[in-house]
Amino acid sequence: MKLSDYVLNFLIRNKVTHIFNLAGGSIAHLLDSMYQNTKIKSVVVRHEQAGAFAAEGYSRITGNIGVAMATSGPGATNMITGIASAFFDSVPMLYLTGQVNTYEYKFNNRMRQRGFQETDIVSMIKPITKFACRVVHPIQIRYILEKAVFLAKSQRPGPVLIDLPMDIQRADVKEGQLITFYGSKEHKLYCKRFPSRVSSEEQAKIRLFLKKARIARRPLILAGGGLRASGSVGLFDKFSSLLRFPVVCSLMGLDVMDHSDPRYCGMIGSYGNRYANITVANCDLLLVLGSRLDTRQTGTRPATFAREADIFHVDIDPAELAYRKFHCYHPVLCDLPVFFQQCIHELERVNDHNIRGKEWMKAIQRFKEGYSREKYPPMPVDIQELFDFLSEQSSVPVAYTLDVGQHQMWASQSLRLKKQDRLITCGGLGSMGFGLPAAIGAFLAKPRARQIMIAGDGGFQMNLQELETVKHYHIPLKMIVVNNHCLGMVREFQEIYFKKRYQSTVKGYSCVSFQRTALAYQIPYVSFRNTADFKRRIRGVLGKKGPVIIEVNLPQKTSVFPKLLVDRPVEDQNPPVSRMKLLKDMFVKPMIRESIS
């Protein structure tokens, strides 16, 4: 068969149902193979970056590899931002790029370019992929495809890229003669490097954790994005119900448990819920599951984070465990499913753990009641109340896709996710423009769920052309655009640290009319200017068939609260609460004088 046909059949065997792509000359054979194959669907986007983000949204929902395809040169380079997003957020992705014929390629020649649109995409993206390879002989295709998918899914998942020259795509191959990766020396070497068993040293740490779990007075779990990446949310449910510890979440771990569960204690970090950060500060045992503990979680002074706790940090990536410096830090190099299985076995055998947890839970409930409904400067739209209300409006599972900016933090602080809800956002890279295309991919992966995208005016404009994709494929996406007519997150930064010199966030920035944009794309449009109007009408808007653009207008100087300023401990966010109130709620010694004065 033609090699491009083999590629499509391979993807079908690996349960890929959609390929996100934009046409180009150097992928013409792959496009033709898609045209003739009815078992896989082509989703044509309007920009290759959007294709990469859409494929990521698809992968986030299915847990399977997402596939995006682009032509050589500008098509391939346009996908780089999406590749980086998948790399930092540990999403298994396969990118297929076209390339000039091998007899046109410059290889090691020092000239800049030989063939038209020839670009060395493999060298460019190697630092942000788990594997990147250019196929130079047809006999390699099975081996490279199998290796790529194996690496994308194994250990800490991530993106891979295969560059396919045009003459390779059109070559004839005999499937029975193709070399397999599985069982090869390289495959066996990877299997040795990725052991399925836990070392005796790590097992000792797990036993130590279980011992401390039985006597901890103020234990806590931090659930991170690694729970989704490892496919272990179901095991986590069983483990956490046996352990009965309260749970805080990172931004990437927000959808791993039902927010109505009494054990759920909010999102931590710089823009986390204040009660969640106070809970972290006060714990004496912290189990970190698949979270990086970066400064957006710990604050710029990591030594103040959970400063009187034993921290057990479970992760599959040794690099993430190597440089953390905390008080009583216990790095546990272990795949989360294996960790859960070992702990569950022990917890079911000896079910006498954490008998002191009731008083701690009462204290956490006090934190929630005291800090969950803080009132900030009054605005026509209480955006946090708005998102809280939005959470109540659906009786079916909802997939929320967030862009990047202030709205991302408001929604993460305030949405109350149910058991089957999902929340998808761009965490590590933090790329504006992610929301709309990722929501397209999420819908195609799970069309029965209600799809709600939330973006700011700045991020929504960055991939605005994908409204045509929404329209073309009849995607019933409800698109909430929070419009404060500026680039608000950076504007806040300028307000605090640059004496309100709003260069390029207010000065020089402008926003398209979303009402006229909706008209151009023939998509219904509604707008809201106050919370009461939103509450009165939003259920009906969400019930409409087809896509809707929902604009929520905010004053330009609306800010995200609470937020952590530089050089402050996580429990002392801005605006500061009463020093006496904070002191009353601290089990551990406050870290700085300002916290107790």
CA distance 69 to 7: 12
Tens digit of each residue's pLDDT (9 = 90 or more) over 229-257: 999 999 999 999 999 999 999 999 999 99
What is the third-level CATH fold of 3-193? Rossmann fold (3.40.50)
**The tokens of 23 are what?**
């046409």
Q: How confident is the model at residue 597 (pLDDT cuts 50, 70, 90)?
A: very low
In this predicted structure, what is the pLDDT of residue 245?
A: 95
**Largest CA-CA distance found in the chain, in angstroms, rounded:** 78
Taking the C-alpha atoms of residue 277 and residue 595, their distance in angstroms, rounded to an integer, is 14
Of the pLDDT bands very low, low, confident and very high (cuts 50, 70, 90), residue 596 is very low
Domain coordinates in residue numbering, the chain: 3-193, 200-371, 383-553
Phi and psi torsions of 164, nearest 5°:
-120, 105
- Chain centroid to Cα 51, Å, comes to 16
Report the residue count for the chain. Answer: 597
DSSP category for residue 137: S
CA nearest 198: which of 94, 334, 104, 330?
A: 334
Task: Identify the pLDDT of residue 196.
Answer: 76
With contact defined as beta carbons under 8 Å apart, do 256 and 223 qualify?
Answer: yes
For 195-253, give the DSSP string.
Answer: -SSPPHHHHHHHHHHHHHHHH-SSEEEEE-THHHHTT-HHHHHHHHHHH---EEE-GGG
Rounded-to-integer distance, Cα 451 and Cα 474, Å: 13
- Taking a C-beta distance cutoff of 8 angstroms, is the pair 531, 390 a contact? no
Return the closest-CA partner of residue 398 out of 372, 417, 375, 374.
417
Confidence class of residue 362 from pLDDT cuts 50, 70 and 90? very high
What is the residue-wise DSSP string for 325-380? --TTEEEEE--HHHHHHHHHHHHHH-----TTHHHHHHHHHHHHHHHTT---S--S
User: Residue 183 pLDDT > 70, yes or no?
Assistant: yes
Higher pLDDT, 143 or 348: 143
**CATH number listed for the domain at residues 200-371:** 3.40.50.1220
Domain 200-371 matches domain 383-553 at the CATH topology level:
yes
**594: pLDDT strictly greater than 70:** no
d(CA 153, CA 91): 8
Give the chain's end-to-end CA distance (angstroms, integer): 77
- Which tokens sit at 582? 């904070």
pTM to 2 decimals? Answer: 0.95
Q: Does the domain made of 383-553 have the CATH classification 3.40.800.20?
A: no
For residues 306-323, give the mean pLDDT.
93
Tokens found for residue 274 = 């204040």
Q: DSSP assignment, residue 127?
A: G
Alpha-carbon gap, residue 297 to 100, rounded angstroms: 45
Residue with tokens 């979303």: 514
Using one digit for the tens of pLDDT, what is the confidence trace for 58-83?
A: 999 999 999 999 999 999 999 999 99
| Lookup: tokens for 214 | 């039985």
